[in-house]
Amino acid sequence: MTRRSGSCLRCCLVIFAVISALCVSGPALYWRLKKGFNLKSSSSISCSPCVCDCPPPTSLLKLAPDCGKDDPDLKEEMEKQFVDLLSEELKLLETVNEEHTRHMNITFGEARRVASQYQQEAEKCNTATETCEQAREQAEALMRQEKKRTLLWERRARQLGWEG
């Protein structure tokens, strides 16, 4: 039965691979064939060369030469010294690192708490398993004793003429 199901699974995987390949490459093949057919039918038609009278691209300075001139915050930022900007960047990085460290410590503490909880649950399961194993061993011992008694009584009954 497993050999048959393995063959069926293999066949389904091959069919899935073929369908996937067709779905991926099918549209490209379709357009390639369609383009090839169009080239054959339109080979006598020629296009005139394209004429582009586009103006050169304009720069941002030409579009908005006074950009940010009236913004006091932007003006203040632009007037800061390079060292001030670097020290501000370092302070921001330090703040981000402190926040990251705090978040990491909280996450680590939560992981330790959950791991401890799982450890306690595992210990409970181990204790329950040991208890069940002891009960099973006791039941087996009682069953062996009962079988011995049954055999003893059966032997005595046969000796007294019982035919069971």
**pLDDT tens profile 33-83:** 887 755 544 445 566 777 777 776 666 556 555 666 677 777 777 777 777
Over residues 88-111, the mean pLDDT reads: 95
The full set of domain ranges for the chain reads 85-159
Over residues 16-38, the mean pLDDT reads: 81
| Distance of alpha carbon 123 from the chain centroid | 31
pLDDT at position 123, please? 94
pLDDT at position 38, please? 54
- CA–CA gap between residue 115 and residue 108 (Å, rounded): 10
Task: Provide the mean pLDDT of the chain.
Answer: 83
Whether the pLDDT of residue 23 is over 90: the answer is no
- CA–CA gap between residue 114 and residue 107 (Å, rounded): 11
Tokens of 8: 């069926």
Q: How many CB atoms lie within 10 A of CB 145?
A: 10
Spatial contact of 88 and 95, defined as CB atoms under 8 Å apart: no
Percent of the chain predicted with pLDDT > 70: 82
- CA–CA gap between residue 139 and residue 152 (Å, rounded): 20
Percent of the chain predicted with pLDDT > 90: 45
Whether the pLDDT of residue 84 is over 80: the answer is yes
